[in-house]
Amino acid sequence: MLMKEQCFICTKNLSKINSILDAQYVKYSWRPHFEENKYILYFSKQNLYTCIPCGKQFFMWNLSKNKVNLLQNRTINGKQMNLPKLPCKLIEHCVMCKQETPYLDSDPLHLRQFYLKSMGQCCSSCYMAIHNTSTT
Give me the residue spans of the domains in the chain: 3-87, 90-131
Percent of the chain past pLDDT 70, that is, above it, reads: 74
pLDDT at 65: 72
Task: Report the C-alpha gap between 42 and 14 in whole angstroms.
Answer: 12
Interval 2-23 mean pLDDT: 79
- Average pLDDT along the chain: 78
Looking at residue 82, its pLDDT comes to 63
Q: Is 41 within 8 Å of 27 (Cβ atoms)? A: no
pLDDT digits (tens, 9 = 90+) for 33-63: 777 768 888 888 888 888 888 888 787 777 7
Residues of the chain with pLDDT > 90, as a percent, come to 14
1, pLDDT greater than 60: no
**Using an 8 Å Cβ cutoff, are 86 and 60 in contact?**
yes
Whether 110 shows a pLDDT value over 60: the answer reads yes
Q: Which residue has the higher pLDDT, 64 or 38?
A: 38
* pTM higher than 0.75: no
